[in-house]
Structure 1
Amino acid sequence: MIPRAAYSLVRQLLAGFPIVTITGPRQSGKTTLARSIFAERPYRSLEDPDLRALAVEDPRGFLATLPDGGVLDEVQRAPDLLSYLQSNVDEDRRMGRFLLTGSQQFGLMSGISQSLAGRTAFVELLPLSHSELVCAGISSEDLDTHLFTGGYPTLYDRLITPQHWFPAYVASYVERDVRQMLNVQDLDAFQRFVRLCAGRSGQILNLSSLAADSGITHNTARAWISVLEASYVLFLLQPHYANFRKRLVKAPKLYFLDTGLLCWLLGIQGKAQLVTHPLRGAIFETWVVSELRKAWLNRGERPLFYYWRDSNGNEVDLLIESADRLMPVEIKSGQTLNKDFFTGLERWVGLAGSMAQNPTLIYGGTGSHERKPVQVLGWRDLIGVVPRK
């Protein structure tokens, strides 16, 4: 097992909650993490039809087989079980009895908000981060390898290539989740929609344009975006609304959570294609934002991330909120620093005044230094992006 940064966070939360729920995309390592923490306790997967039938038909009997708790995997498959789990942990007040995992935010979060509010802590486990790969001694020194492979653990503990794994992953998990949640009949249209979304990663989301290009209605596009969010395929980065005397863009930006999946959807066959690919900048930006999101979540912190753009096209790729300050982050894939890289940061800092803290440029090179007032970080030094308290 590749050590996960969230391991200590889950152990800490188990000391103060009767239940900890680990959410995240399928195949991100949730089950492996939960079973490593509860190595001596029972494991029940509700993907198993027999166990799911028992949990649905006789929930009290099912929980009676777990007097000291255990791991309940893919618990959204038996949503009614959560109400009985509430009674169970209310009667037995011991902390740290159950670890739940789930891969669909729709069914899982709605059920937990109704039944287990105040009884469970949440940990979002995304695919492996760059820092986790470094700590495990399996990180590549080549940026394009990271972008092309992504972070799904299977690609690091099995002899399988991204070109062979991602088609099976999409067919087995993403498309199945869509059918379970929305009963999508036209799978070809959905596949086309996902690929068109991939071409827009790192861009401001225009639902009307996306729907028209996909040959579907605006409402269908909105519903499918929601499903992809709920399945942890992509996320939306909201704009920051602070008014710096400018008209602001108010639509969110779209990002995929894993650049390996993104590259496969874009038809990229190998890392060599990335060098001159027209979307390389967007892929690198997607990777950086996703890596920072992982870093915050692995510490148990909610990532208060935004972007800023005004009607004149002035933009900062990422704003990180901390207390009453905002940390602007500009992201450039080029390996050679250019004075134009700093233009957006300098303009935003001038507008934001005292709200600005620690402006940072992350680029595709490897050297890190300070060019006052901007902190310059190469891609290997992402961990240096931490707002000052």
Structure 2
Amino acid sequence: MAGYQRRLLDTELDELLPALAAVAIEGPKGVGKTATAQRRADTSFELDDAEQQRLLAADPARINRATGTVLIDEWQRYPAIWDDIRRSVDQNPQPGRFILTGSAAPVVTPVHSGAGRIVQLRMRPMSLTERGLDTPTVSLTALLAGTRPQIEGEASMDLPAYVEEILRSGFPGIRHLPPRARRAQLDGYLARIVERDFHDQGYQVRKPATLRAWLQAYAAATATTTAYNAILDAAAPGESDKPAKTTTIAYRDVLTQLWLLDPIPGWLPVDNPFARLAQAPKHHLADPALAARLLNLDAATLLETTPQRRPHGRAMIGQLFESLVALSLRTYAQTVEADIAHLRTRNADHEIDFIITGPGGRIVALEVKLARTVDDNDVTHLHWLHTKVGDLLADTAIITTGPYAYRRPDGIAVIPASLLGP
């Protein structure tokens, strides 16, 4: 397909489709699921088209008569197709038969989970590696191997360039637009969530302004473990008729069904050497560009160095940069079959931004610093973690906005965000 930019998910599909009969690609609207699936499909059924829904409802066996790989696009619009495919796979488990794509969890849950028949993969907005900004020189796979690989490379990116990437987003159809058109598209994306997507998920939004305010408060809590009650208070400060807790729980549930919330869970090691670990998730939207747009932040505000102009914007730059790194790390971790979490002790005396757990249970600990350079104060928590877990710790690193990748004399790697890849 002309103009297609290969995604890391393609690497997973290259490995899985020759062995599996059915794969479901799930993620928020606009991340590129259909474009990726269409490159591998011989026949397509687009279920956001009511006529195609009716055709399949009248004759479910059409999927069995189709030749080659069959794409079922937006399958959640007709949830019965899930069980039709599951039964078809039971009868004929030939590899590469079906690809499903979905941008929301179905309102009507399929009768069967599909376990053992349909393998589900998450697709996110484009990571830094997928955006082609720099050629990665450091591999997450090598870090997880525990061989302490040589760390080197020079990045072309600096802080203004990372801010631009936050604002441009990782949505393929949005990121290359001129700035005003891009802002309009992001505004339209958010408006569609409030005005249409909630309704499509069976939830009637009685006060759209309240949902919008909750989204803004969640965006302001990006990369923090702020309690949901505090997010609610921030969304409706001083109001006597705040929405009920059940309402805001519904907001969270529907946004999760739409794949728009992508929190990082708290770390719980299998052999827990810690007396007290907090488990609250760190909040992240699917793309930090959505958070920036909800808060009406632009590059000038985020890069402002004096307190006169909207100081809250300057305070958000670190959180949004961490969220950009989180988006990339989640994509890399999935590619290499690893899990991602964060570490925070309950009294908050030790925090580590990311704990990546690879096959076999060894971990890589990563801190994010919005700076070009690293000093001894920045690595305190990483040294502390090594004293707690010993050889379980395969490697440690600080992710920066600086130009150079290298290893410090104490063994901790310093890696520009654009130079880290899967």
Q: Same fold (TM over 0.5)?
A: yes
CA contact (8 A) 2:134 2:419 kept: no
Task: State the Cα RMSD in Å.
Answer: 2.5
1:310–1:326: structure 2 CA closer, same or farther, 3 Å change rule? farther
Segment drifting more, 4-13 vs 314-323 = 4-13
- Superposition deviation, residue 68 in structure 1: 4.1
- Superposition deviation, residue 98 in structure 1: 1.3
CA contact (8 A) 1:125 1:298 kept: no
- Superposition deviation, residue 77 in structure 1: 0.6
Q: Deviations over 1:330-374 (max 9, x none)?
A: 111122323321122222222333332311111121211111231
The residue aligned with 2:357 is: 321
CA contact (8 A) 1:178 1:227 kept: yes
Q: Please tell me whether residue 2 in structure 1 is matched to residue 5 in structure 2.
A: yes
- Superposition deviation, residue 227 in structure 1: 2.0
Q: Which amino acid aligns with 1:133?
A: R
- Superposition deviation, residue 140 in structure 1: 8.0
CA contact (8 A) 2:168 2:175 kept: no
Q: Which amino acid aligns with 1:131?
A: T
CA contact (8 A) 1:210 1:221 kept: no
CA contact (8 A) 2:11 2:335 kept: no
Q: How many residues align?
A: 376
Q: Please tell me whether residue 147 in structure 1 is matched to residue 148 in structure 2.
A: no
Which of 21, 25, 29 in structure 2 is aligned with 1:26? 29
- Superposition deviation, residue 236 in structure 1: 2.1
Distance 2:82 2:385 in 1: 47
- Partner SS, residue 278 of structure 1: helix
Which of 119, 122, 129 in structure 2 is aligned with 1:121? 119
1:121–1:234: structure 2 CA closer, same or farther, 3 Å change rule? same
Distance 1:29 1:312 in 2: 38
- Superposition deviation, residue 273 in structure 1: 2.3
Q: Which amino acid aligns with 2:362?
A: R
Which of 375, 381, 389 in structure 1 is aligned with 2:419? 381
Distance 1:83 1:106 in 2: 13
Larger helix proportion of the pair: 1
- Partner SS, residue 154 of structure 1: coil
The residue aligned with 2:206 is: 185
**Structure 1 gaps, min length 5:** none
1:306–1:278: structure 2 CA closer, same or farther, 3 Å change rule? closer
- Partner SS, residue 203 of structure 1: coil
Which of 326, 329, 335 in structure 2 is aligned with 1:289? 326
Distance 2:33 2:274 in 1: 45
Segment drifting more, 221-230 vs 364-373 = 221-230
- Partner SS, residue 210 of structure 2: helix
1:203–1:306: structure 2 CA closer, same or farther, 3 Å change rule? same
- Superposition deviation, residue 288 in structure 1: 0.8
Q: Which amino acid aligns with 1:367?
A: Y
**Structure 2 gaps, min length 5:** 136-154, 236-241, 305-313
Which of 240, 263, 269 in structure 1 is aligned with 2:267? 240
CA contact (8 A) 1:14 1:96 kept: yes
CA contact (8 A) 2:23 2:99 kept: yes
1:147–1:260: structure 2 CA closer, same or farther, 3 Å change rule? same
Q: Please tell me whether residue 219 in structure 1 is matched to residue 263 in structure 2.
A: no
